[in-house]
Every structure is written in structure tokens, then in C-alpha cells.
Structure 1
Amino acid sequence: MSTSPIRETIAAPAWPKPIPPLDAPPSPRSHRALRRLQSAHALGQQASNQPSLITRQHRQALQLNSTPVKKDPPTRARSNSDATNMTPPNPDSAGRRPMPVRRPTAEALSLDRLIRDGPPDGDLLGGLEATRLKILDQGVKSDSDGMSSLRIYVWLILLNAPVLETDSYLTLIHRGASPAYSKIRNDTFRTLATDPLFRRRVSEASLIRLLNAVAWKLHDAKEERAKGLANTGNKMRNTADEHGSPVLQNSTPAIEPGARALALNEGSQVPASEPGTYVQGMNVLAAPFLYAARSEAEAFVAFHRFITHECPGYVRGAMDGVHKGLALVDKVLAIVDPKLSLYLIGKGMSAELYAFPSVLTLCACTPPLPEVLRLWDFLFAYGAHLNILCIVAQLVILRNSILSSPSPTKILRSFPPLQAEIIKEVTLTLIKKIPDDVYAEIVMHAK
């Protein structure tokens, strides 16, 4: 920058109030206080001509020092509890137990101290609940660019991300190009290409390394699942046919097509579609993690945890979680605003046409980036599934513009700039209108 950092960052010292000169007269209030002290001292001397207790003790100590000391057996040293009480007893405090020192609760601590020191008395659930409430009420403090030294640690805690050694991340980097490397290179150069804040802080090389490491991680997990299925299929057991002859049969019976479909609908562990190592859109989904993190290793563990536990359905080859989310956008809009929903349907505009990027990237495709980070604070605190309601909230905010436009496609082709606080407020009002069964679908759509 052309301006000097010293002129902008170093402010004038906050000096105290001007000190009066030494020969300045004291204030009248000081005079009255001094006279009261002198009167009290004079009255005390008139009431008793005897020396004070401190003076008597001092004289006794001088007399003991002047007399010869006998060598007696050692005795217990005098404790503070043996000393004469110098203050008169307070009758109101008689019989009272000493009040225990109250330790601050998680609600009383600031978010910064709560993250740094941990919840008091190891109350993890209470500390987590207090963290969520503080994010909802106050948010994570950051500068105008959305930068905060605290945010990435809040995300790691809310995502319950495991501790990862940097060497583990470097090992994945040193393995070279993953099977998805060419797909990654086709997307990284256009990731948030028009956002100067992201371009200034995150390099394309950093984004390539992160996505390539995640692709290796997903590839290894896919290989382990394949080996596990192969080992299960190779297990044989001895049986006998109807004539009593021994035969070998697979211990895992074949699944009929109808039974397989039923198992998928009932939530069987058999995947509906094999998870891929990279799908288009993961680059935009990874961008905020790199922007908020203080190292690539932190961004890697947070991003990997997010896509494998919060929204694994978004990164499968068929993106079934994304399509379920788009259907829910239409369903929720019909519940909370039937007029707006019918108008969009009449124009032939379903969520598949305008909300696909917003669902896939959790609104990270809509600038500005600092507002995306504030919205993600809320989503990570209370569940990434609330992104569906946040998208509907943006439609409700644009309601008048959409209804008055003969061609709402131009409005919804690119959503207006995000306003995280307003979206959060509208989202909280929409939650109350959602039936329990529909809300359960929202919670599970990305799994």
C-alpha cells in the first residue's frame, strides 16, 4: 500500500486527565474531608488518655528485647489466628458461613476466553451450548475483511474435527497428483475469481494442494471400502445340498434388485451412489475454509470433516444430496409463502434452475466473502442443513421484487449480496412454520 503503516496503525497515546500544578490549592471537598479526620482524631484522644493498643504492643516488644532470653524448648510459632482481633465484630455476620468463591460460568465468559481456556469445570456440553448462543447473539468478532484469529478454531470445535498432525497433511501432498488432479485444475483458476479479498489471501496453488490432498483421502477411504467388501465376499462356508453332498457357498447372499432398492430406502449401509474423490463445486466449498484458516492443515481437516460428516451427499458422483436439497427449497417455499411459490412455478422456475449453486456451496457462491463467513458461523453452530432455509429466506427478502417483475429469471440468475444478519433473522422466523416431518427431511437431506 502507498500509505505509511505507522501513520495509520499507531494512534496518539490515551493520556490521563491533565495533572494540576503542585502549588494549586486543593478542592473544597478535600478540605472538608481533612477537617473530619482531624476532629475524629481529637475526639478519640479526649475519650481516652491511654495509649493505643498498637502503642502498648510496641512497648511490650521493646521490654522483651531488653531482658535476657532463656533457652526454652522450641514452641509453636504464633499464628495469625492468635492475634487480637483489631476490628470490632459485626453482629450481623455472626453464624454465617464463609461464601464460596463463585467460578464464572460458560455463559459469563466471552467467546474468546471460552475457546482459549475451555468450559469451566470441564462442562463440554454446557460450553458448546454457550458457544452456540454467543454466535447467534454476538457473532464471531472480525475485521471488515472478515478476518478473525478465532473463527477457524470455533469451526473446528463445532464440526468436532479431529486433531491432525501437519506431517500427515504433508504426506498427502508429497504423494503427487491424485486421480482427480485434472478435474481439480480445471476448476481452481475460476474459484471466486471476482473476489479480491480471496485472491489477495489465498493462492491457486494452495487451493490445488488442499483439494488434491482431500481427493487422496477420499480415494484411500474408497479403496479400504472396496477391500472390505472383497474380503467379505471371499468368506466361504461349508453347507450340504439336498442330496447331502458338501458344497461351498458365499457367506454373503446375493441381494436381489428389489431387495437392494428396499435396503437403500431403509437407510442400509450400501451407498446409493459410490462417493467420488472430487465433484465440481468442491473448489468453491473449500474456499472459505482456506480464507478463514491460519494454515492449510487446519483448512484441510475442517473441510474434510465437513464434507464427510455434514454433507457427504453433496460430493457423491450423482450429487443426490444437492438434488434433495433443491426439492426441499421448493417444498419449504410452498409452505412459508404459497403466493411466491405459485408465481415462480407459473414462470417455470423451480429451484433446480436458480438455487443449485447456493445449495451446493452453502451460499459461498454469493458475495461478499465476509458475509459468507458470518453466515457459516451460524450454519456450523446449528447445522449445515439450515442452508435450505437460508436460501428460502433470501427469496422471502426479495419477495416484492420477484412478484413485481415479469421476468424473475433476471433477479434470481445471481442473488443480491448476502446480508448474514438479516438472513439469520428471517431463517429463525421460518423455522417455526416448518412441520416436523419436513424439518426431519431437511436435517437428513445431505447425508
Structure 2
Amino acid sequence: MSLHKARIKAFEDILDEDLVNIEQLQKLAFNGVPDEKGLRSFVWKILLHYIPLEKSAWESTLQKKRQLYQQLINEIIVSPGGPTDHPLNLSPDSSWSTYFKDNEVLLQIDKDVRRLCPDISFFQSATEFPCSEIVNSNGVKRLHKRVEQSVLKYSTLERRGLGVAKLSNEIRRSESITSGDYTPLNEGCEAHWEVVERMLFLYAKLNPGQGYVQGMNEIIGPIYHTFASDCNVNFRKHAEADCFFCFTNLMAEIRDFFIRTLDETESGINYMMTKLCECVKKNDRAVWDRLEKQELRPQYYSFRWLTLLLSQEFSLPDVERIWDSLFADPQRFNSLIYICCAMILLVRDNILNADFASNVKLLQNFPPMDVSLILNKAVEISSG
């Protein structure tokens, strides 16, 4: 038996147990989860606490969660109930005010998901399982249509009453929608980016204290791609619901990265960047001295690394491999620090021999590299 087949069997043996041994699963997944047989998709569902460790509870848990998700779609998107008061009602509790605020959020989501992972065609392609209540409806159910129509109506209102300056801005926004990187498919079809748009809008509606923040699209993208590419047709069919809850669970862990008022707390992004600096200083004083002398602050490069879990620095397959290790580590944010530190140390010669501008460019556009080298270096650092 080949090593690869032996690893697949090891995963299958763990998942066949009545009670999954989470420590064994984490240890195995840390070294990478095979794509075959939908293993990565299923293992991520466990590591992200979506399904329980008890095998007997898997089916009922998935059924309840998927039914709940369908209910959320029906209540928030399909039949939300239109605004009932006057459109010019200035009250913050006005249903029209809520509608317009939702559309502002939706406009940003729409813009972001249309450019998701442009180096692959997946998100532009049609899903096998479009949401029938939405794509077969005669009403404005597809969210991108709601944004386009609201912008047009708002522009008309501006021209009638409030001048042309803001109108021009709205027209430009409308043009940016219709000329986006990804265009909508014909009626009856739905692209994967539209599915991602719907999940992010639901998340924003259900989490009003945080809402949607740019970058969340980069977090949800790899999860959805993994689930929607599952070889099991039943799991592909429910990729949207499963992804939504896994994303929600992951955001519960990293939401503080996206909240500016928490930047200085132990769960905030500035604290994470400080830990990364300390890790570099401990493991390679020469590199740390060089960055300090050049006043090359971690905010210039690692803010994006840490906030987006490296999803912008590597190709999608490499991101998914890195996330195997990240999700498998009970102290996954320590792993994130070690991986980022490994990235810096693996380009130490470049850093030591380049000026400030070159080093900023290097770290903001990390060079292509075998991720196994980075992950092995991260393990070495964590053991030091």
C-alpha cells in the first residue's frame, strides 16, 4: 500500500469509529487532508465544530442545520416582507431605512464576491444546485438584481431632488456593478459567486453588531470551494448550508481581527502582529534587526496575512492545504504565527540584502514557494 493510500485509510478508520478521536484526527489532519473521497470537506466540518464527534448524531445534526438554513433564506431573502412605512421616514427604526442600509452592505458584498479568486473559473461557473426559490422566482430575489435596481432608483431620486453630484457617484457605482469581473448567469442558473453573496448577506443580517467587513469573502471562499467540490453529490447539494455554519463558527474565533476597537486586546490584530514580531526576533535576530532598522512595521504586510488567514498570499489549493494545518491545531492562531514567521525566515537572504522598498514589495507580494517548505519550517519554529 502506498503512503498516500495509507493516509486515506487512516482518516477513514478514525471516521468509522463511533466516537471520533479528535486528537488523532487533529494530528493526522495537521499534515494535510487528502482531497479524495470528500475527506477534506468532512474533516473540516468536524474541525470547525459543525458536526459532533459522535457518529450517531451526524445525520440528525446535518438535517437540522440544513433545514434551519433554508428557513433563514425564506425569512430573510425570499419572503422578508417589504418596507411598510414612508420611504422618506427619517426614523432609525424605519423599515425603509433598514432596507437602504441593507442595500449599502449588499453593494459592498456584491462588489467583493465578483472578484473572488479570479485566477480560477470556479466562482464564475454555474452551481449544480441553484436555489430554486430564488432563480425560478419572478420577483427580485437574486441579490445582485436587488442592488442594481436599488442603485437605479436611488439615482432617479437624487436627480429629482438633491442635485447631480451624488447622482454621478451613484451612476459610477451602478456602472461598476454591471461591468464587474463576474457577470450574472441567465435566469434559472446561479453562479457560485452568487451563492457566496447570499451567505455573506445572511451573515451580515444575523450579526448586526459586526455586519459585513471587506475580507470576509476571502475567508468564506476556500471553505465553500472545498464543500462544493466534494465528490459526494449529497454534500455538494448542501454545500451552501454547511459552508454558512462552518464560516459562522470560524468567524466566532477570528471576528476580533475585524473589529477595530479590539485591535489592542489579546484577541485583536495588533496583538497578533506583536506576537509575530516577537517570534521573528526569537528565531532570527538578524532579520528582526534588519526590519527594525528599516522601520518596516508588520502593519505593512502581516495585517493581511493574519486577518485573512493567508488566503491572499497563495493559490487556492495551497490555501486549503495550509488551512488543514490551521484548523487541525487546537491553538490554531499560534500555528498562524509560526507559519507567518516561517514565511519571513525563508526569504531572510532577500531581506538582509535589500532596501526598504524592495523588502516591502517582497513581503506584500510573497514569492511562489512550495507550501510544504513553509509548513515544515513552521513546525521547526514551534518546536524551538
Following the alignment from structure 2 to structure 1, what is the Cα–Cα distance between the partners of residues 193 and 359? 35
Residue from 25, 29, 33 that aligns with 1:135: 29
Tell me if 1:304 matches 2:304. Answer: no
Q: Which residue of 2 aligns with 1:181?
A: 106
Answer with 1 or 2: which has the greater Rg. 1
Change (3 A) 1:280 1:347: same
Q: Which residue of 2 aligns with 1:154?
A: 43
**Root mean square deviation, CA, Å:** 2.4
**Which letter does structure 2 place at the counterpart of 1:183?**
Q
**Which letter does structure 2 place at the counterpart of 1:141?**
P
Q: Which residue of 1 aligns with 2:359?
A: 408
Following the alignment from structure 1 to structure 2, what is the Cα–Cα distance between the partners of residues 416 and 112? 36
**Which letter does structure 2 place at the counterpart of 1:347?**
Q
Following the alignment from structure 2 to structure 1, what is the Cα–Cα distance between the partners of residues 34 and 111? 35
Q: Which residue of 1 aligns with 2:370?
A: 419
Following the alignment from structure 2 to structure 1, what is the Cα–Cα distance between the partners of residues 41 and 112? 24
Q: Which residue of 2 aligns with 1:289?
A: 223
Following the alignment from structure 2 to structure 1, what is the Cα–Cα distance between the partners of residues 275 and 311? 19
Q: Which residue of 2 aligns with 1:14?
A: none
Q: Which residue of 2 aligns with 1:111?
A: 11
Following the alignment from structure 2 to structure 1, what is the Cα–Cα distance between the partners of residues 14 and 29? 12
Runs of 4+ in 1 over 6 A off after TM superposition: none
- Using structure 2 for the length normalisation, give the TM-score: 0.62
- Given that residues 326 and 351 in structure 1 are in contact (C-alpha distance below 8 angstroms), is that contact kept between their aligned partners in structure 2? yes
Change (3 A) 1:404 1:388: same
Following the alignment from structure 1 to structure 2, what is the Cα–Cα distance between the partners of residues 396 and 319? 29
CA deviations 1:376-416 (Å, max 9, x no partner) are 01110114301121111100111112212223122112112
Tell me if 1:276 matches 2:210. Answer: yes
Following the alignment from structure 2 to structure 1, what is the Cα–Cα distance between the partners of residues 359 and 124? 31
Percent identity over paired residues: 24
Change (3 A) 1:325 1:418: farther
User: How many equivalent pairs are there?
Assistant: 260
Change (3 A) 1:425 1:198: farther
CA deviations 1:7-42 (Å, max 9, x no partner) are xxxxxxxxxxxxxxxxxxxxxxxxxxxxxxxxxxxx
Return the offset for 1:418: 5.1
Residue from 67, 79, 98 that aligns with 1:167: 67
Tell me if 1:203 matches 2:181. Answer: no
- Using structure 1 for the length normalisation, give the TM-score: 0.54
Structure number with higher relative contact order (C-alpha < 8 Å, ≥ 6 residues apart): 2
CA deviations 1:296-353 (Å, max 9, x no partner) are 1111111001111x22312335462222212222121111111101111222211100
Change (3 A) 1:319 1:353: farther
Following the alignment from structure 2 to structure 1, what is the Cα–Cα distance between the partners of residues 378 and 259? 28
Following the alignment from structure 2 to structure 1, what is the Cα–Cα distance between the partners of residues 366 and 192? 26
1:165 partner SS: helix
- Given that residues 325 and 388 in structure 1 are in contact (C-alpha distance below 8 angstroms), is that contact kept between their aligned partners in structure 2? yes
Change (3 A) 1:113 1:216: farther
Question: What residue ranges of structure 2 are gaps of 5+ in the alignment?
Answer: 1-6, 52-60, 78-98, 128-190, 228-235
Following superposition of structure 1 onto structure 2, how do residues 376-415 of structure 1 map, counting pairs within 5 Å? Answer: 376-382=323-329, 383-385=331-333, 386-406=335-355, 407-415=358-366
Q: Which residue of 1 aligns with 2:83?
A: none
Return the offset for 1:198: 5.0
